Structure 1
Amino acid sequence: MSIAATSTIVGSFSPTRSPTGRLRPRMALRSSGISVTPILADLQKNCATPLPVLRHVADAMAADMRAGLAVEGGSDLKMILSYVNSLPTGNEKGLFYALDLGGTNFRVLRVQLGGKEERVIDTEFEQVSIPEELMFGTSEELFDFIASRLARFVEKEGGRFCLPHGRKREIGFTFSFPVKQTSIDSGILIKWTKGFAVSGTAGKDVVACLNEAMERQELNMRVSALVNDTVGTLAGARYWDDDAMVAVILGTGTNACYVERMDAIPKLPDQTLNSRRTIINTEWGAFSNGLPLTEFDRDMDAASINPGEQIFEKTISADDLFGDAIPEKFSKPFILR
């Protein structure tokens, strides 16, 4: 790679804060009589990622993944058991609801599936921006707001979708923050990330928080499954493609999940060994072992709301790289083969 520069400008780095509290790089340019070529050459050298460096990072991440599978707290990668031991086949039929909370917005979704022949018969969703004050407020305030907008979404149905008497609507809850799951429909929040600092939630069951909020709204609905957004992405991909085994999120933050053999998870409780495979939520945004960081990465981290944490996430997530101007091609889901 070569860089040609004809103008005489010098760039200086300064971080600016995004609406989510993250820091973004900004280049301020000023005229100077100094040639910019040495500066760009030095920048290229410091930002280079030659193959040996990439292999070192890959090996370090693989080692952290194995350590995280071996014992709780064995590495920065939590390697969280999802309790999802099967994936869609494409034969599913019926009416399904979903709530996706993973960043500065959340989405509510209703979809009607018709199996292999009809696939998706009908779908409707609504995206809601979370007021910034709720990202730093209390747990009850945040979940009450979510439940109220969910109730409003359901009210728009009118009488189109009727359930048998006494039966509640069931909703899948995609919660894209580090959670220690205790079952398919319960999970304890480990900590908030992605610019959130909601009080009174860490250490609590987020499913219980949402169910209680829906009860306060007199909404006839309960959470039937709690999944991370990566797990939801993998399930959605598997509905269309039987070969999908890994899912990666590059959004406000970043994460990945994959299908793992049960016998490769030493920390797995014996009572969960009722399937040969399960989905592991890596929480790889916290990875930092051996990452080559530039001065810009260090400045971004130092000025963030959580210095020293989520280092890998800060180097590759869309919010840190692009802010509000995410390239269109990065906004479309796709499957690598």
Structure 2
Amino acid sequence: MVHLGPKKPQARKGSMADVPKELMQQIENFEKIFTVPTETLQAVTKHFISELEKGLSKKGGNIPMIPGWVMDFPTGKESGDFLAIDLGGTNLRVVLVKLGGDRTFDTTQSKYRLPDAMRTTQNPDELWEFIADSLKAFIDEQFPQGISEPIPLGFTFSFPASQNKINEGILQRWTKGFDIPNIENHDVVPMLQKQITKRNIPIEVVALINDTTGTLVASYYTDPETKMGVIFGTGVNGAYYDVCSDIEKLQGKLSDDIPPSAPMAINCEYGSFDNEHVVLPRTKYDITIDEESPRPGQQTFEKMSSGYYLGEILRLALMDMQKQGFIFKNQDLSKFDKPFVMDTSYPARIEEDPFENLEDTDDLFQNEFGINTTVQERKLIRRLSELIGARAARLSVCGIAAICQKRGYKTGHIAADGSVYNRYPGFKEKAANALKDIYGWTQTSLDDYPIKIVPAEDGSGAGAAVIAALAQKRIAEGKSVGIIGA
């Protein structure tokens, strides 16, 4: 999770008149390498479309384009009580979602902190026992009189998992510090269901979902203009509805009760776009981040645009300036010379500094790193932060433009969530204006843009519940919820 600081009034830009020529030259160099012109955005979008198509082909490509097995659009009339659980890095969230049947919903939720040792327990049952015990505690609290009918549950499992049907999730590999044996390469749904059944809790796991797909479906439930769900946070991702007949890799794998025109939610996982380095305008700092990462050559798009990396791009550029003798002269940089010591809250706070002399930025560098800065150095730091944030916002909408162009959408709402979207200063406006540049719209107000990025509904809560409702209906009608034989 990227933690961004509290919001402040939009900062004043200040004059560059007092910045010496040598620093102005460095600022101009940064402006050249971090500015993404319209032509580049359009070229990135064009290549993005071809990569999305590759991901849907039998051969496959860099972008996984994972079918989410949500094969219906929500009507907004779905109603009833549903449970959702979201297993994240530090907490288990349990949510009771009451779907109103009129495009509204109410939620009640509790969080249960995962004991640290559980992430690496050698007992594979322990995690599922913890989740089942938490569910029981929640149910006992919410339904003291007991439950007459089983409650369907949607499980947001935020780890790489392959699915041949909606109620299955075969863990590919643990991430987020988890390393529990005998779960990788196995379906996690029966493991959880076994512990729920053992405790006589009337709950049935009917859907396992990805949070981005949940964002798409929850937002569609409340707003039928929704065309995509997107996440701009620690990572970047998008989900949308494609058509089964256009998904080459599913040909011959779908049962006869799924018509070719049926929709299919696709979890793109497009942080891996352009791993071949064909079109994205990488700087030497992006190349360093990639080469020194645990997985070089992977997640190229994410490494240039997501919240996990923006602070590190800023730090690398400042260290470069220091090594060339332009800033931080004769100072101890031992605290600053550590990879990822700056998270994305740093450039965000620097951009939000409301003072003409950038006093908050001065305090930040002194208190955190023991570095004294001049006003002129702070103006370089501020401009560099703005450029890095703007580049991320502009590049990140290429995935939106690519999917909208691929599907032929001229208008619609893009439901967005994530810490960068919600908290990074100016991100929403810069992202919207980048879409305007790609399309060449003439409208002057963000509210009038044909394709609008809007705040999303809760994907891992309401989204999981709506998907559970859709899955339960398909199962009750005897319809397929996955590939033939799954």
- Answer yes or no: same fold by TM over 0.5: yes
CA–CA distance in structure 2, aligned partners of residues 160 and 254 of structure 1: 43
| Aligned-pair CA distance for 1:58 | 1.6
1:124 and 2:108 are equivalent in the alignment: yes
CA–CA distance in structure 1, aligned partners of residues 24 and 113 of structure 2: 44
Q: Which one has a larger percent strand, Structure 1 or Structure 2?
A: 1
Identity %, equivalent residues: 32
| Aligned-pair CA distance for 1:92 | 1.4
Partner SS for 1:96: strand
CA–CA distance in structure 2, aligned partners of residues 34 and 132 of structure 1: 52
Q: 1:329 to 1:80 in 2, by over 3 A?
A: closer
Q: Which residue of 1 aligns with 2:422?
A: 329
**Residues 245 and 251 in structure 2, CA contact (< 8 A), matched pair in contact too:** no
Q: 1:176 to 1:272 in 2, by over 3 A?
A: farther
Q: Which residue of 1 aligns with 2:40?
A: 53
- Equivalent of residue 80 in structure 1, options 63, 66, 70: 66
Describe the superposition over 1:198-217 as per-residue Cα deviations: whole angstroms up to 9, x where unpaired: 34333221223332443566
Q: Which residue of 2 aligns with 1:284?
A: 270
Partner SS for 1:248: strand
CA–CA distance in structure 2, aligned partners of residues 218 and 315 of structure 1: 48
Once the two structures are superposed, the pairs formed by residues 93-104 of structure 1 within 5 Å of their partners are 93-104=79-90
| Aligned-pair CA distance for 1:46 | 1.6
Q: Which residue of 1 aligns with 2:100?
A: 114
| Aligned-pair CA distance for 1:171 | 0.6
CA–CA distance in structure 2, aligned partners of residues 152 and 324 of structure 1: 36
From the CA coordinates, give the structure whose radius of gyration is larger.
Answer: 2
* Counterpart AA for 1:55: Q
Once the two structures are superposed, the pairs formed by residues 255-294 of structure 1 within 5 Å of their partners are 255-270=237-252, 271-272=254-255, 274-275=258-259, 276=261, 277-287=263-273, 288-289=275-276, 290=278, 291-294=280-283
- Equivalent of residue 308 in structure 1, options 281, 297, 311: 297
Q: 1:334 to 1:42 in 2, by over 3 A?
A: same
Q: 1:311 to 1:159 in 2, by over 3 A?
A: same
Partner SS for 2:169: strand
| Aligned-pair CA distance for 1:286 | 1.9
Describe the superposition over 1:182-241 as per-residue Cα deviations: whole angstroms up to 9, x where unpaired: 111012223345x44534333221223332443566644231111211111111111111
**Residues 7 and 36 in structure 1, CA contact (< 8 A), matched pair in contact too:** no
| Aligned-pair CA distance for 1:126 | 2.2
| Aligned-pair CA distance for 1:4 | 5.5
1:68 and 2:49 are equivalent in the alignment: no
Q: Which residue of 2 aligns with 1:177?
A: 159
| Aligned-pair CA distance for 1:90 | 1.4
| Aligned-pair CA distance for 1:324 | 7.2
Q: 1:67 to 1:82 in 2, by over 3 A?
A: same
Partner SS for 2:249: coil
**Residues 95 and 113 in structure 1, CA contact (< 8 A), matched pair in contact too:** yes
| Aligned-pair CA distance for 1:154 | 2.2
| Aligned-pair CA distance for 1:334 | 1.4
1:252 and 2:234 are equivalent in the alignment: yes
* Counterpart AA for 1:162: I
CA–CA distance in structure 2, aligned partners of residues 310 and 137 of structure 1: 29
* Counterpart AA for 2:76: G
Describe the superposition over 1:76-100 as per-residue Cα deviations: whole angstroms up to 9, x where unpaired: 1111111111122111121110012
Partner SS for 1:64: helix
Q: 1:103 to 1:86 in 2, by over 3 A?
A: farther
Q: 1:50 to 1:160 in 2, by over 3 A?
A: farther
* Counterpart AA for 1:280: I
**Residues 103 and 252 in structure 1, CA contact (< 8 A), matched pair in contact too:** no
CA–CA distance in structure 1, aligned partners of residues 231 and 77 of structure 2: 26
Q: Which residue of 2 aligns with 1:149?
A: 134
Q: Which residue of 2 aligns with 1:318?
A: 307
Partner SS for 2:136: helix
Q: Which one has a larger percent helix, Structure 1 or Structure 2?
A: 2
Q: 1:198 to 1:34 in 2, by over 3 A?
A: farther
Q: Which residue of 2 aligns with 1:23?
A: none
CA–CA distance in structure 2, aligned partners of residues 131 and 316 of structure 1: 32
* Structure 1, unpaired ranges of 5+: 9-32
| Aligned-pair CA distance for 1:172 | 0.4
1:299 and 2:288 are equivalent in the alignment: yes
CA–CA distance in structure 2, aligned partners of residues 226 and 64 of structure 1: 26
Q: Which residue of 2 aligns with 1:225?
A: 207
**Residues 171 and 222 in structure 1, CA contact (< 8 A), matched pair in contact too:** yes
Q: Which has the higher contact order (CA 8 A, sep 6+)?
A: 2
Q: 1:131 to 1:327 in 2, by over 3 A?
A: farther
Q: 1:294 to 1:145 in 2, by over 3 A?
A: farther
State which drifts further: 274-283 or 293-302: 293-302
- Equivalent of residue 179 in structure 2, options 178, 184, 198: 198
CA–CA distance in structure 2, aligned partners of residues 3 and 48 of structure 1: 20
CA–CA distance in structure 1, aligned partners of residues 116 and 307 of structure 2: 19
